[in-house]
Structure 1
Amino acid sequence: MTTGQPVNPEQPVSTPASSGVPTTGPSMAVAVGNTINPRKIPWTEVKPVADGLEIFWWSGVEPCNSLDRVDVTYSATKVTVTLWEGTTDKDAICIEIAIEKKTIVKLSEPVGDRKIVDGAK
């Protein structure tokens, strides 16, 4: 059962993305974990927010394209953020439409002067 609460501080905190056509702006996505065939998804934009980062990317509708998890690694010069998506229903039939999604990732360390890098690229 997914409660929307992060398992650890670096997991996204938001509400699930809609499986319908979005109205305006990006759809909020929350990591559901345990998706089928998760794969790295490149993100398009990152914005600093209180205690973390807001990450934006283009994807398809759920359940075919669900946020599985977000991995964050830290080094002296960079913070690498990797989005993972998979399906939650291998038999689902989803429309082929691109929607912009976003999620908020809480960080365990401040970014400081480090570069924020996409782990899928």
Structure 2
Amino acid sequence: MSKLLCPLLLLTLLPAVVPLFCYTCVFPAISPLDCIRYPMKCPPGQLCLSSRAVGQKGDFRVVLYEKSCVLPALCGVTGEKYAMGLNFTFTNECCNTHLCNEAAAAPAALCWTVTLLALLSLQSAW
């Protein structure tokens, strides 16, 4: 009986919902540079966002990239904005797994990163 009690006790201490971790940019990046990013715990109900905005005026073209957490209502949205004297067309893409808004992460490194983040979130919950 005592062999079952310890695992059951540990299961009750785990949070009901594991928070989603996504990359976020310190500031938007201008192509071909990638943004300076770091993992962030998203608020409940949010997804990971990768956004791309292309601005053009004549022959001058700028591409901006951004990563963050976002409400599902903003996923799959495409639109236009005018900023800095340029017309920007943006596209938002979302995903719902840990750190999925990283363009190219090595599978082994991603696995260890997710494991470490999950352990850190469990530690902060205690």
TM-score (norm 2): 0.24
Greater RCO structure (CA 8 Å; 6+ sep): 1
TM-score (norm 1): 0.25
Larger radius of gyration: 2
